[in-house]
């Protein structure tokens, strides 16, 4: 059901200077007739239109879409992106050259995000918080490497070696599985720059939907981990602010000083994440950390509640199987 964003994404790809580019677009059963019409209108530019099939049992729609794209491709390097992505003329050359120069089999790219207006304040909470989980936590790159699904590239041989998308039919983060499966020396996670100039302009409602769809599965749909993460965020990210305020009020100067230092470090780190997200410094970004943390706790718990008791929609499809539901008629016990 894409219109303007799809056209802008395709226009940026068609303008690419990469000489051996194959552009494949899958229409994943859009309810709107405009989407396939838009894709077909680019046929004279060499864009291949693929009409998506019904999603088989056991597959997530996005992963099945990935597999269909691979099945129709002829290239040696696959670059997956959403319609909110924009490429400069030299961006694809930069991606391929970087893969070859660093001898990588897979690459995740952090695009330069464009702030959404109106809703500028909310844009400081949604996308930066998502990036913070990948950029700020200490990670063992061979066990839990940082990844992003916005733009990522992988070689055809590597994808086939690790089972293709059939190996991750019901995995919310298929790119994380492949990044974890390959040799850590063969995987790269980079910020877009002048050589790999890739940007993203994602609407706030889509950012919100993505957060709801991914937050609970990111914790393996385990309620106890939701409680643990919520408690940890309150303890380590919110508590220092409260301790500092109370310390100064009641005269506990040493405690207040230590808590203030901890809080200032956290404020600075989140401000830097916002700068990385939008490639612009925001003064407001250096003071919104507590609000971002509380909002992240809300999103995490709301995501859990929807997955367990309601439904989670992605592109018009329910990707959650609720634990609690009404059976119209119970089976007879014999």
Distance CA 40, CA 34 (A): 10
Contacts of 286 (CB under 8 A, 6+ apart): 267, 268, 270, 271, 274
Tell me what the mean pLDDT of segment 200-221 comes to: 89
Yes or no: say if 212 and 299 are a contact pair by the CB < 8 Å rule.
yes
Triad 30, 34, 40: Cα angle to 5°: 95
For residue 299, pLDDT beyond 70: yes
Would you place residue 323 in the very low, low, confident or very high pLDDT band (cuts 50, 70, 90)?
A: very low
- Give yes or no for a contact between 2 and 42, defined as CB atoms under 8 angstroms apart: no
How confident is the prediction for the chain on average, in pLDDT?
89
- How many helices and strands in the chain, by DSSP H and E? 13, 11
Spell out the residues 6+ positions from residue 111 whose beta carbon is closer than 8 angstroms to its own.
85, 150, 151, 192, 198, 199, 200
pLDDT at 20 over 60: yes
User: Which of 79-83, 107-111, 133-137, 271-275 shows the lowest per-residue confidence on average (mean pLDDT)?
Assistant: 133-137
What's residue 119's pLDDT? Answer: 62
Categorize the per-residue pLDDT at 92 as very low, low, confident or very high, splitting at 50, 70 and 90: very high
Q: Which DSSP symbol is given to 312?
A: -
Q: Is 53 helix (H, G, I), strand (E, B) or coil?
A: coil
pLDDT computed for residue 319 by the predictor? 74
d(CA 153, CA 199): 15
Backbone angles phi, psi at 35, to 5 degrees: -60, -55
The yes-or-no verdict on residue 34 having pLDDT over 80 is: no
Would you say the C-alpha torsion 153, 57, 325, 223 has a positive or negative sign? negative
One-letter-per-residue 3-state SS of 28-90:
CCCCCCHHHHHHHCCHHHCCEEEECCCCCCCCCHHHHHHHHHHHCCCCCEEEEECCCEEECCC
Q: The whole model's pTM is what?
A: 0.86
The pLDDT value recorded for residue 140 is 64
The residues near 290 (Cβ < 8 Å, ≥ 6 apart) are: 237, 238, 241
Predicted confidence band of residue 295 (pLDDT cuts 50, 70, 90)? very high
Mean pLDDT of 20-32: 84
Q: What is the pLDDT of residue 260?
A: 97
Token pair listed for 256: 């207040």
Residue with tokens 């729609």: 61
* The predicted structure's pLDDT at residue 332: 65
> Residue 112's beta-bridge partner residues?
199
Strand order in the sheet with 187-191: 77-81, 151-155, 106-110, 187-191
* pLDDT reported for residue 324: 47
List of E strands, 28-98: 48-51, 77-81, 85-87
Q: What pLDDT, on the 0 to 100 scale, is given for residue 305?
A: 94
Structural tokens at position 89 = 């003329």
CB 41 within 8 A of CB 64: no
Given a cut of 80, whether residue 314 has pLDDT beyond it is no
Q: Residues 67-91: pLDDT tens digits?
A: 999 999 999 999 999 889 999 999 9
Band (32; pLDDT cuts 50, 70, 90) = low
Locate tokens 């990210």: which residue? Answer: 237
- Is pLDDT of 212 > 90? yes
**Residue 202: closest CA among 279, 316, 116, 314:** 116
């Amino acid at each position: 059901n894409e219109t303007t964003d799809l056209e802008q994404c395709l226009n940026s790809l068609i303008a690419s200077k990469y000489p051996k580019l194959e552009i494949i677009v899958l229409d994943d059963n859009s309810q709107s007739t405009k989407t396939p019409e838009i894709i077909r209108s680019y046929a004279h530019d060499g864009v291949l239109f693929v009409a998506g099939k019904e999603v088989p049992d056991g597959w997530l729609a996005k992963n099945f879409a990935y597999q269909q794209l691979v099945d129709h491709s002829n290239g040696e390097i696959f670059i997956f992106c959403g319609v909110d992505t924009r490429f400069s003329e030299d961006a694809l050359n930069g991606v391929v050259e970087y893969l070859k120069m660093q001898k990588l089999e897979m690459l995740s790219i952090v695009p330069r995000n464009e702030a959404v207006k109106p809703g500028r304040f909310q844009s400081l909470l949604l996308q930066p918080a998502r990036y913070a989980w990948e950029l700020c936590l200490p990670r063992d790159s061979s066990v839990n490497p940082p990844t992003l699904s916005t733009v990522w590239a992988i070689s055809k041989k590597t994808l086939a070696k690790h089972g293709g998308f059939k190996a991750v039919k019901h995995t919310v983060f298929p790119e994380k599985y492949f990044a974890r499966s390959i040799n850590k020396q063969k995987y790269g996670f980079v910020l877009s720059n002048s050589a790999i100039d890739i940007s993203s302009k994602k609407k706030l409602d889509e950012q919100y939907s993505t957060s709801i769809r991914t937050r609970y599965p990111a914790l393996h749909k385990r309620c106890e981990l939701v409680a643990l993460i919520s408690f940890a965020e309150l303890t380590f990210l919110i508590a220092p602010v409260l301790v500092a305020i109370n310390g100064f009020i009641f005269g506990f100067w040493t405690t207040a000083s230590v808590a203030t230092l901890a809080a200032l470090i956290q404020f600075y780190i989140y401000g830097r994440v916002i700068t990385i997200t939008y490639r612009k410094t925001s003064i407001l970004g250096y003071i919104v950390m507590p609000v971002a943390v509380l909002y992240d706790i809300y999103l995490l718990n709301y995501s859990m509640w929807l997955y367990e008791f309601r439904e989670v929609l992605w592109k018009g499809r329910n990707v959650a199987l609720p634990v609690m539901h009404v059976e119209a008629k119970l089976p007879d016990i014999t």
